[in-house]
Structure 1
């Protein structure tokens, strides 16, 4: 466990890392905590009256920690996640937009400060360790991203950007129709965070030291870190042990980074299949959506529930459309109609292939 003393400015002024047994006195849910803190649910407040004051202090501290991260320039992506609801047989029966609530943010802020504290502690101990690092973005990628956002009237100061500048951009686009696509394009323009035996900065978090410590039951790097800490606390390491541990952390970091990429890809593919399954009985139904992508072969449209489909250019028979790669637009040669990212449109579900995880739309 890690116990931290944090002052009113969000600075960790003291901490202790030690072996422990954690006993849960309450089995709460994110929804219950949100109902207490955001909606003052009287029934839940009465049920958990013993710890409601603590929950309010936790909320206050999370806001302080969030503000501290904002001031140093950490990036906080706000695009909604997709939540897929399945029945008892595993069939997708609903797809919803899932957004972070105050309960999620409390846990997130506490995890971040804990991970930073542990990483810095073991950096200064000069111990073999597994860090989580995020390298600065490539200048070329930032140049392309800068050109992209220029279509929406936004600019970056240069190709070598600080995360604070990217967060300021996210603040400007908040609740605007282009928010989702710019969030996604920014994420694609950044390098992927990886595990490393060598400490380095985390660009996205604007953090000097970072690791994954808080989830040893579901992430292997965290489990490896807990093993290292347990050995260090109990003074188990000889010089030979430390040398072997250096070699092991390098292997663990490399393998974990590779498997994380595989797991992410599998998760994306599975979600696409389940979303296609959910939409398979909705052929012919009509929806309002937003253009989320424009390519030479058609227009991607995202619905309110985050479902995305393609209007193939072969189905856009009302005109001959020319693709402008610079502006990421399709331009109708005769009608002068333009399809660009962020446009509100109406579509009809034309076809769904669960096997290919593809959803075809048509404009109406």
Structure 2
């Protein structure tokens, strides 16, 4: 049989390589070879093998040709609709992969593809010819037994994994119906056969408190705890600040300074101080010197580098460093001596930094302030709060003054400020959401934001001109075609923006956001503008930050929770102490490409996990409100329905099939839904009442229907 198969392969190959017949489509070849219907699958298999061997390739017109097509390597990303894309490193445009051409690839797999079509107007289309490395080895999902059978299935939480996973009973680890489990894949399946796996961990029953969030933790492969070795090392290094520790440092313990954070924050890594100078202000941004306790290449450092960042989920924080450090000796706690790296800046009345110093210091924070308290003092003029913190009130007023100057200067140069309200979620002891509301920025959050941004820019600029190896936070200019698409879209609403040849300036985006402020379409246009941007990332090369309109930017201010900041502190200290030898420079140059790449990836993972937990709790919250009516605004329109956002940031879908008073069509040109009989129109920003009709915890979706104007079946709480 094998000999016959090889003989057929040679005949097919010779036929394709014969100039008399090349190129030809599959159907033409089958006719020429007089292949029967039953033999066609065998012919396809032969062609696929020859393609894998690189001897032939499929042309854009679907014809087989001799020679090898251009092969690309990238990461396969599956969509929820079956098809996928391959992201090629170093290329902006990804490659579309039809469901029939995915070669059995799963989301996250590293694959080799060939381009089969390159249309002028649309994205390239490709075909997976080889899976180089599996991105998924473990899957989290819901275990379901097949009663009376000796097997079960795991339904993946990740909707991008389309197939259930077959689990023989002897590999189920005793899992029962309704258990959330982690299953390790032992086989990735093939046409007509499901992937197989073995249960390696039972997370808990789907209805048990905490199982939902832990499933997300496991699904994103987030670390759950620290090893005994790391905990022991943290205990050893977390000693009180001694005279030896302070030797050679600038002593700032007599400076008036505070931390300003959220009420529930425990890892306080930045303190601020401001005094008035003759020709401006003296601003001090004092950052915890974590590198004093986390030595390079120690067990603590290796773990922090692997984690890349702390992860902030709705019900827990997964820290980059053990709490013994992050909430203890590294945290700038009130009234305690702490080691710091300080960026002390002289800022003139126009917001320019005229002089600065970066120094190793010892500090002692006078007060641990909350955003709420500072807002009460500066915005609400709360008499009790002003009395309570009277000795600090003059400094807070200086901070507000300076913050406004810095912000105005940033605005003048074109910095883009996407002011979306974040979600503030209150959970009970069992992890159930009891309140959801927008977490708005106020004067206090803006003060800290402005001061941290200025320190980050100042540090980045100094080290850029020192020409030392460094870690920058970069944000590239958006693709011209995405901006042109945005410019075309906003014309529907009567707005325009100037797009120069091969260049878009951040000021144009800023102007657009200013124009749409307080309009019904503000939320949509702001989101579309944000989506047209590229993602910021960490790089060893400085290419500037488009969104901030900054030539130099870094992350210097959060070494407790971000590894790039910790890495930067090491470089700064080596420079300050005269240890930046050619050997040390070479060392940093060799490690920074991988450090920045991994940190960027871990940041993406953390953001996605955080978003998933928020979506999950929003769905859980609305389960208690099915049948109730709320007022919201139309936040998005598509051919399948309208998205409506409630004032508490929860968003749901009114599906077009549930708009029963008429047949509604989506008018893409004017971005509205129109009833073909009644001519009733729904537009962005329009207020309307909706009833909650259902939720789906697996898909993390909320369904609404339009409520009658007279329906007063309001929920107990209106937002």
TM-score between both structures, scaled by the size of structure 2 = 0.50
Unaligned runs of 5+ in 1: none
Q: Is residue 248 from structure 1 mapped to residue 572 from structure 2 by the alignment? A: no
What is the correspondence of 1:301-340 to structure 2 with a 5 Å cutoff?
301-340=644-683
Q: Is residue 238 from structure 1 mapped to residue 585 from structure 2 by the alignment? A: no
Q: Which moved more, 1:171-180 or 1:345-354?
A: 171-180
Q: 2:554 aligns with which of 207, 211, 215?
A: 211
Distance in 2 between residues matched to 1:188 and 1:326, nearest whole Å: 20
Give 3-state SS (helix, strand or coil) of 1:359's partner: strand
**Which has the higher relative contact order, 1 or 2, with Cα contacts under 8 A spaced 6 or more apart?**
1
Give 3-state SS (helix, strand or coil) of 2:367's partner: coil
Distance in 1 between residues matched to 2:436 and 2:426, nearest whole Å: 6
User: Alpha-carbon deviation of 1:328?
Assistant: 3.3
Residue 286 of structure 1 is matched in structure 2 by: 629
User: Alpha-carbon deviation of 1:39?
Assistant: 1.1
Residue 128 of structure 1 is matched in structure 2 by: 469
What is the correspondence of 1:32-111 to structure 2 with a 5 Å cutoff?
32-111=373-452
User: Alpha-carbon deviation of 1:250?
Assistant: 1.1
Q: Which moved more, 1:235-244 or 1:135-144?
A: 235-244
User: Alpha-carbon deviation of 1:317?
Assistant: 2.1
Distance in 1 between residues matched to 2:495 and 2:485, nearest whole Å: 13
Instruction: Give the structure with the higher percent helix.
Output: 1
Query: Whose Rg is larger?
Result: 2
Distance in 2 between residues matched to 1:177 and 1:21, nearest whole Å: 51
Residue 299 of structure 1 is matched in structure 2 by: 642
Q: 2:480 aligns with which of 123, 131, 139?
A: 139
User: Alpha-carbon deviation of 1:161?
Assistant: 2.7
Residue 21 of structure 1 is matched in structure 2 by: 362
User: Alpha-carbon deviation of 1:242?
Assistant: 1.0
Residue 118 of structure 1 is matched in structure 2 by: 459
Residue 520 of structure 2 is matched in structure 1 by: 177
Residue 352 of structure 1 is matched in structure 2 by: 695
Give 3-state SS (helix, strand or coil) of 2:363's partner: coil
Residue 494 of structure 2 is matched in structure 1 by: 153
Kept in 2, the 8 Å contact 1:148–1:327? The answer is: no
Distance in 1 between residues matched to 2:347 and 2:607, nearest whole Å: 34
Q: Which moved more, 1:131-140 or 1:143-152?
A: 143-152
Provide the aligned C-alpha RMSD in A.
1.3
Distance in 2 between residues matched to 1:51 and 1:214, nearest whole Å: 23
Q: Structure 1 stretches (4+) deviating beyond 6 angstroms?
A: none
User: Alpha-carbon deviation of 1:356?
Assistant: 2.5
Equivalenced residue count is 364
User: Alpha-carbon deviation of 1:166?
Assistant: 1.4
User: Alpha-carbon deviation of 1:324?
Assistant: 3.0
Distance in 2 between residues matched to 1:105 and 1:228, nearest whole Å: 29
TM-score between both structures, scaled by the size of structure 1 = 0.97
Kept in 2, the 8 Å contact 1:331–1:339? The answer is: yes
Unaligned runs of 5+ in 2: 1-341, 708-719
Distance in 1 between residues matched to 2:476 and 2:670, nearest whole Å: 28
Q: 1:228 aligns with which of 571, 592, 597?
A: 571
Q: Which moved more, 1:275-284 or 1:337-346?
A: 337-346
Superposed CA offset, 1:159-188 (max 9, x none): 643111211121122222222221111111
Kept in 2, the 8 Å contact 1:97–1:305? The answer is: yes
Distance in 2 between residues matched to 1:68 and 1:238, nearest whole Å: 38
Q: Which moved more, 1:331-340 or 1:197-206?
A: 331-340
